[in-house]
Structure 1
C-alpha cells in the first residue's frame, strides 16, 4: 500500500465519491496482480503427478487401497483452483509468451473431473457476467437455504436429469460453442470406457476407489465452497452485492481460499493466493460500499 493510499484508508471514506473509491480500489488491486502465479502452476502439476503416482503404487501393492483412496480424494478436491486461475488467463493472457502454460494448466487439471477446460472457462465467465441471475447464471442451481440443503442439492444435481447440466448446455449454446457439448460427451464416454476396461481386467475396486468415488465426494465439496458459500444467500445482483466475504469453520485453506471471494469477483485478474492480502487492504473500501463482510 502506498503512503497516500494508507492515509486515505485511515480517514473517513464516507466523504469520497464513487470515482475516488474506485480509484483507490483499483490501486490496491493493481498492487496484487501482474505477478507470475507460481503456486498455481506447481499446484496444478504437483497434484496431477501425485494422483497419477497413486495408481502404480496401489496396483503394485506398495500402497494400500484405503490410503490410495484418501490421497485420491484429496487430489480430486484440489483439482479445480489451478484451472480456475487459467480460466481467467492469470498465468498468461492471449498473445503472451507463456500462454501455452496457461492452457496446459487448464487442460492438465480439468480432465481429472471429466470436464473440458473450455467448457469450464465459457460457463465460469458466464457466471461472472450473470452472477445470481436465475436465468443466465450457470451456477445458479448451487443456491440453497442453508449448508445441508446446499449439499443435498449438489448431490441431486449430479443425477442425469439435474438442472445444472442443462444450464451449462444453455451457456454453451448462447456462445455458439456447441462443439464443446460433443467434446464433453467424448470426455464422459472416455471416462466410462477407462472404468469399464479397468473393471474388465480385474481392477474394479481400484477404478472405484481411486477415481469414481473420489470424484463423487470431491464435486459436492467443490460446489459447496466455490459456489454456494461465497454467494449465499444468492439473491442480490450487482458488483458489490453478488458475493461476500465470510468466515469458514475449516479456515481459508480448507475452504479453498473462498473466504475472500468478493475480491475475486471485483478483480478476477488477482491470483487466488493474493486475494487475502488484497482483501485486508481493500476492506475499508468494501465497508464504505456496504458489502456483506464476515469477521475475517
Structure 2
C-alpha cells in the first residue's frame, strides 16, 4: 500500500492592506494552508493559538505595530446567560436547529445577500456572487457543518439564520454566521452564539470560539457580553476581565518578528511515523 508523507505546514505573511476594524491602520496576516489528512489536527492546534479558518487557510493577525486583535472564546462550563440573553432564548424558542453537511444552497445565498445589504453594505464581501459564496461554505478540508435555523411551524424555505461551524477537539468555532435582518427583535446573532454554547455543552467540548475581539471596535463589542470570555493575549489565554482595561493603542514593538512567531507555535505531530 502506498502512503503519502504528511506535509509540515509552511507559513507566509500577507501584503499589508487597510484594517477592516480600526480606521487608519494597516493589517497583515500570518497564514498557512490546510490540506491532507492532518487538517483537522492543525485546525484544532492553531485555533488554540489565536488562528481562524477561512476556507482552506488558517490565519492570525501579525501587524507590524499593532496587536489589538485578540482571539476570543467562551468558557462553556462557567457560562450563565444574563437576563437579556435569557430573553433572547425565550424569543427564539420557536426556532429549530438543523445541522447539515457544508453544502451551499440558493436559500442560504438569498439570506446571505439580504444580510449583507442590510448590515455590511460596504464590507469586503459585498460583491460575493453565488459561486464565491459556495466556495466559502464548501471549500473546507476540516470537520464542518452548516447549522440552519428556521421556525418550527414555518414553510419549507423559512430560513432564519445560518452558521458555518467547525468542530475542534476542544470546542466549536463559529466561522461565519448570517441571519434575517428584518427580524431584529429576535437578536439572532446573539441567539446563534447562545445555541452554539448549548451545542458545545451537549458535545462535552469546553469552548466556543468567536473569532477576534478588538477593543474600541463597536462591531466587536457584543462578544464581551458572553461571560466568562477568554482572550488570547501575550501568547496565552486569559480572562478578559474589564473590557475597558484593554486598549487598541499602537505599539511599535508589540509584534514579534514573523520567524519568532512561527518558532513559538505548537504544532501537532504531523511528521510522526505511519503504518
What's the TM-score, normalizing by structure 2?
0.30
Pick the structure with more helix per residue.
Answer: 1
Q: Which has the higher contact order (CA 8 A, sep 6+)?
A: 2
The structure number with the bigger radius of gyration is 1
Pick the structure with more strand per residue.
Answer: 2
